[in-house]
Amino acid sequence: MDKLKKYELMAKIARELEDVRNSQQAVLEKIGKIEVDNIELGDKLIESQIPEIYSRTAANADAIREILDTFQQKTEDYGSQNNVEKLKEQERIKNI
């Protein structure tokens, strides 16, 4: 795999990780809303299960955030080390 294609794949994975992180955040917000709404309702099943589900989901969200932060930095470093902007420009010129 050439350097530009590798960088583009790394950038794609970083975007996908960002999407997963955003999805996890939305899930956490929904779980929180369920928990708040259940205060009024008082369903014992929800009351007993939702906190653990929230906790596991938050742990997953933290893990994804850590991977994303590290991988984004790795992608940026790779791009800088391999002068990806110059490679992109060469690719544009080649395709003209």
In this predicted model, what pLDDT tens digit does every residue of 3-29 receive, in sequence order? 999 999 999 999 999 999 999 999 999
The answer as to whether 52 is a domain residue is yes
Query: What pLDDT sits at residue 60?
Result: 96
Give me the count of residues in the chain: 96
Query: What is the chain's mean pLDDT, rounded?
Result: 95
The answer as to whether 3 is a domain residue is no
DSSP for 4-66, written as a single string: HHHHHHHHHHHHHHHHHHHHHHHHHHHHHHHHHHHHHH--HHHHHHHHHHHHHHHHHHHHHHH
Q: Please give the Cα distance from 46 to 54 (Å, whole number).
A: 11
Q: How many domains does the chain have?
A: 1
Q: Which domain holds residue 80?
A: 8-94
Q: Please give the Cα distance from 84 to 56 (Å, whole number).
A: 38
The answer as to whether 85 is a domain residue is yes
- pTM exceeding 0.95: no
